[in-house]
Structure 1
Amino acid sequence: MSSTQTSRILLTDKAVKGVPFSTAKPQIVRDSKIAGFHLWVGKSTKTFRFQYETPRINGQRGSTMVEWLGEHPHASADEARAKALEIQALRARGEAIPRGLAVVPEAGPDAAAALTFRAAWEAYKGAITKEGKSIRTIADYQDKFDRHLTAWHDRPLASIKREDVVQEHAAVTERARQARAGQKYASGKYAANGTMRFGRAVWNHAKDELETPGLPERNPFRSGKLFHKEKPRNTGMGMADLPAWSAQLQALANPVRRELHLFMLLTGLRRTDVLTARWANFDPARPSLKLPSPKGGEDRAFELPLSTAQLECLERVREAGRTYYPEESKTWIFPAPGGHVAEVKEEGRQKLSHTGHALRHSFRTLAAAAGVDRLRLKILMNHSIDDDVTDAYANVPALFSSLLQAQETVSDFVMSNLTSATLTIQR
């Protein structure tokens, strides 16, 4: 699928708005003032781009490259033009072009052969960053790219066949056994499935959004019968498990870490949300803790109502933080030397049977045992309610008092089943 061109026009927001989407081949509309600056028009997107050639090497012509400058209307024509002029200036001075934006080869007969998996990932990363995907999600994708797909980094995307994906899925799974023998990777069935889901998303973006010609109709990363069957992990504690866990908790020497684990059990928050919690987002009067960028990014930001037991936990950790980490505790609720606590796992003799996500599972289990209804529990755990039309009608901010009541119910149930639940600061 090659592209067609129109006569040059001055690319302004008004002019770009008036350019119709392409119903067949992608269309290139070139700017009348800046050579190389143009608009790529597809079936549903209009993207500002800048085309240039890399320097000659040993008399050989350089490669034709394209810098993606932003999608209209999210990026304005003036913003894209400024970026194009900046690239022109860098090239005139002989300086390298920053790789902050996705760089992909120009579309044409050989576009599919030239678009590498690396370039496709950079383009997809730029797109999901713009739409507000969380830093953790993007970092997870980058980890899968760096660890599991190294052999495909510079491989043309179009050359990756279904057979290759099947073989790589099996290879990622096998690395779990290698990890037990001291190898580098600690992967398994879930990592293999997740890696292929990542590949599927990158491929779909190249096919549907970049409209890369030459890619097959079927995604080689499709699930089909490829993925391992996944089962929910039954790692949550029931009420009978709480006394033993509480005894383990009491044995921890570090008071900040004791309160960290208890707070995770009482709130059911995800690990990163707790570790990066700041005092600036704590409102003792309401009372609540704001989570501005949880899993799912800023669009999933929410305000967590805080029960009496949770407030007492925060009071204790604030005192402990000021005692042991006076500077760090000014910012972080769970401070550590140089910043905040970075790892929830306990080592050596002071181990806990349940940490991290297992405490989130425990909160879910104990909340059900305490009789909290499903809707309020989903909101407290910041799970999506959009899939259920009836739930989606709920005005979450207006439910704050009811959510706080549910939080008190869960906390009372948990604390009543903990042995020696009142934790003291060790000095």
Structure 2
Amino acid sequence: MAKTSLAFTEARIKSIQPPESGRVEIYDTEVPKLCCRITAPGHKSYVVVGWDNQRQRGIRITLGNVSDLTMKSARELAIKTLSDLKSGIDVMARRQRDKTAQMSLEILLSEYLASRNLRQRTQAEYSVVLERHFADWKPLPLNKITEKMILDRHKILTGIGTATANSAMRVLRLLLRYAHAISIIESIPIDVLSRARLWHKPKRKDRIIPSDRLSDWLEAVEALENIRARVFLLTLLYMGYRTTELRQTRWADVDLRANTIILHDTKNGETHSLPMPTVLHEHFKDLKRQTGRSTWVFASEILPNQPMDSPKRSIKSICATTGIEFSPHDCRRTFATIAESVGVPLTIIKRLLNHSLDRDVTAGYIRTEINTVRDAIERVAQAIDNFR
């Protein structure tokens, strides 16, 4: 197709009508390698067409929108760009570095989230971390974030708590590593924490409900008037679920005929299906009569069509009645401990807990049948009941 050219003026560029589809390029007669690109939606931009000596190929470089550049500045920028290309300057690398000076931490987070298929909860958590611990850094260009700034902020966060420091810096690390991977920054300043060995070694929690107090705990839970809290805590103990995942269970994912529960939005991103132990059957039938009209199994009593929050009042009541201090996650650890004590194989315990098996090559070959899982979960339930 023949190249269309005309002597560029502001008025002539403004008068060019967009094509019905695709895009067209019209070249300037004064600077022949400068063109105006017009797309069907009406977007107009100045583009320079040249030869990239660095990459030994033709190249098109967008100089900017027509609305942002005067005719004179577009020509001057085109001439300079062509001169740089002829001199062997890596114009694209320079433009990337220029972009670095403009991209802020807040914009980087938006680009990172857009590039990943993350759960909404995870996206919200990353946004909260930036707002809570790096709010003053959000408008900063990425190349203004220095190692000293990171060291100083890490010290402040450590004063709040070592877990807070670790979790906040992990979010910042994944963002800066992403920026480095796509060539927005040349180095990763947060790596100073690894070189200086400043990451805090997490203290793994190991609290469980003591076996000699399990009978008292069960008695206190079953005495709760709040059926939601009662069934919720019993399910945590008898099935080893994560708290948030269980709270967000929907009735559509509970089969009271097959006695199975399916969790979809799990921590490792995999659908998790478990058979319900016999001891919970009647409890769920009773709960169905209470919350069955809601989407959520553990429906909120306050907010319409929302899952309930963690039953803190009921937990506090049980702690006061029994003297047993526990958290919902302690039930999960107790479940795993009892499973191990009755001889459930480690690979099956991992499947019950929905722990990822990606790094376990051998486990990846094993496809556990539902009857094997059902047998294991009934063995754990029977062991729990033996403590009564």
Asked if Structure 1 and Structure 2 have the same fold, meaning a TM-score greater than 0.5 normalized by the shorter chain, the answer is: yes
Structure 1 position 388 matched with structure 2 position 360: yes
Superposition pairs of residues 84-233 of structure 1, within 5 angstroms: 107-128=95-116, 131=117, 133-175=118-160, 188-208=161-181, 210-212=182-184, 214-216=185-187, 219-220=190-191, 223-224=194-195, 225-233=197-205
Match of 1:373 in 2: 345
Deviations 1:28-78 (A, max 9, x none): xx987464599xxxxxxxxxxx9976988xxxx9xxxxxxxxxxxxxxxxx
Say whether the 8 Å CA contact 2:146–2:189 is kept in structure 1: no
Distance change >3 Å, CA 293–CA 349, structure 1 → 2: closer
Match of 1:276 in 2: 248
Instruction: Read off the aligned partner of 2:312 and give its amino acid letter.
Output: K
Structure 1 position 334 matched with structure 2 position 298: yes
2:209 and 2:189 map into 1 onto residues whose CA distance is 43
Distance change >3 Å, CA 256–CA 114, structure 1 → 2: same
Greater relative contact order (Cα < 8 A, sep 6+): 1
Say whether the 8 Å CA contact 2:268–2:356 is kept in structure 1: no
1:333 and 1:386 map into 2 onto residues whose CA distance is 30
TM-score in terms of structure 2 length: 0.71
Q: From the CA coordinates, give the structure whose radius of gyration is larger.
A: 2
* Equivalent in 241, 246, 256 of residue 228 of structure 2: 256
2:385 and 2:275 map into 1 onto residues whose CA distance is 17
| Greater per-residue helix proportion | 2
Count of residues in Structure 1 that have an aligned counterpart in Structure 2: 305
Distance change >3 Å, CA 240–CA 348, structure 1 → 2: closer
User: Which structure 2 residue ranges, 5 or more long, are not aligned?
Assistant: 1-20, 23-35, 48-61, 74-93, 320-324
Instruction: Read off the aligned partner of 2:202 and give its amino acid letter.
Output: E
Say whether the 8 Å CA contact 2:44–2:65 is kept in structure 1: no
TM-score in terms of structure 1 length: 0.65
1:54 and 1:154 map into 2 onto residues whose CA distance is 27
Instruction: Read off the aligned partner of 2:110 and give its amino acid letter.
Output: E
Deviations 1:132-155 (A, max 9, x none): x22222222122111111121111
Distance change >3 Å, CA 406–CA 219, structure 1 → 2: same
Distance change >3 Å, CA 415–CA 228, structure 1 → 2: same
- Per the TM alignment, residue 356 of structure 1 is displaced from its structure 2 partner at its CA by 2.1
The CA RMSD measured in Å over matched residues stands at 3.0
1:363 and 1:197 map into 2 onto residues whose CA distance is 30
Deviations 1:393-416 (A, max 9, x none): 1124xx211111111111111122
Match of 2:15 in 1: none
Structure 1 position 246 matched with structure 2 position 218: yes
Counterpart of 2:175 in 1: which secondary structure?
helix
Distance change >3 Å, CA 221–CA 351, structure 1 → 2: farther
Distance change >3 Å, CA 318–CA 262, structure 1 → 2: same
- Per the TM alignment, residue 196 of structure 1 is displaced from its structure 2 partner at its CA by 0.7
Deviations 1:208-246 (A, max 9, x none): 1x321x432664465341111112101222422312322
Counterpart of 2:249 in 1: which secondary structure?
coil
